[in-house]
Structure 1
């Protein structure tokens, strides 16, 4: 069953289609204003939530607590530095088989998954000195 989208949801969906990276709700709101789309910030958040529930938008929460939104295209995995916030996209995914098994065993439709490792990048490791283990 296809869900009917509101005009605000459609505008946000189409804007996300034009972007090549994830974006925060605040920045999405600013971008919509630049494009003369008069949508309030609360409506942006509600629309993003509705699109997420439809399985077309994914959200990634950074170590800073900021949420970034993008269209569900492919699973993305990252190495994220907890000091400087640098995030590096990694191509490997060790959980695709697990995802398939979970869908079958729990009768659960997975829209997407995220995998993120948190630590210190090379530069930040050099600034803090040798790591103690």
Structure 2
């Protein structure tokens, strides 16, 4: 990211950032969110998840935290993650890009007329 233009996010990286935009959580929670939001069509395995998290941490988009959610039993092996400010900004940037791409897909007739559905 030295030239000021961060590299594009991979689909897995965006999915992890999206999961963390809802609040800090652990790896199993991230995998569960992704499976739920994609109706099971995307299953992020542990290897992919933790490689993605390591890359996001190295890039300063995510940080590990020792804090857990209230009411959850403490498990010293469980690692919790949260977005950094830069991670939030990158997730927003990617979401805006996906919004533009979705709009183009609607214009091309690939998704039906979502705009009409929104106006209802």
Q: TM-score, normalised by structure 1?
A: 0.47
Is the counterpart of residue 66 in structure 1 residue 78 in structure 2?
yes
Higher RCO (CA 8 Å, separation ≥ 6 residues)? 2
| Structure whose residues are more often helix by fraction | 2
* Deviant stretches of 4+, over 6 Å: none
Give the aligned partner of residue 56 of structure 1.
Answer: 61
Consecutive unaligned residues in structure 1, runs of 5 or more = 74-133
1:44 aligns with 2:49: yes
Match for 1:16 among 15, 20, 30? 20
Residue deviations 1:55-100, cap 9 Å, x none?
0101013672321011014xxxxxxxxxxxxxxxxxxxxxxxxxxx
- The correspondence of residues 65-104 of structure 1 with structure 2, limited to 5 A, is 65-73=77-85
Q: Which has the higher strand share?
A: 1
Q: Which structure has the larger Rg? A: 1
Structure 2 gaps of 5+ residues are 68-74, 86-120
CA RMSD for the aligned pairs? 1.9
